[in-house]
Amino acid sequence: MTALKQTCVIATLGLMVATTAHAAPYPVPDTGQSLCYGETSVIGCPFVGEALFGQSAQHSGTPMSYTNNGDGTVTHATTGLMWTQGDSGEAMSWQEAPAWVELVNHARLVRDAE
């Protein structure tokens, strides 16, 4: 699983917890997820009070909207978060990932300064 996919999974889980507990005071972006999942496969979406209730497919939010910045990044219109469109092409641990991000950010700053 790429770092971007892992980050998206963690962000989705965080949004699920935030939106299940109470209404968020900010726009929550929709994930586009339409299926519910058990521990190993797709399941019918659980009802309130059932185990695994509150999955992303059971919530709707602000529609997904991204802007291609034309420089190898995309920006999410609702949150303002920016992602690279590529990955390192190499496997790395969570501990190694920040160094790669620093490298990418530094290269972008150098390029933009030219």
- Residue by residue, pLDDT tens for the chain (114 residues) are 555 444 444 444 444 444 444 566 777 778 889 999 999 999 999 999 999 999 989 988 788 888 999 988 899 888 888 888 888 888 999 999 999 889 888 887 777 777
What pLDDT, on a 0 to 100 scale, did the predictor assign at position 110? Answer: 79
Beta pairing partners, 30: none
| Residues 78-96 as b or e (16 or more Cβ within 10 Å = b) | beeeeebeeeeeeeeeeee
DSSP state of 64: P
What pLDDT, on a 0 to 100 scale, did the predictor assign at position 53? Answer: 94
Report how far residue 73's alpha carbon sits from residue 67's, in angstroms, rounded to the nearest whole number.
9
What pLDDT, on a 0 to 100 scale, did the predictor assign at position 15? Answer: 47
What pLDDT, on a 0 to 100 scale, did the predictor assign at position 59? Answer: 84
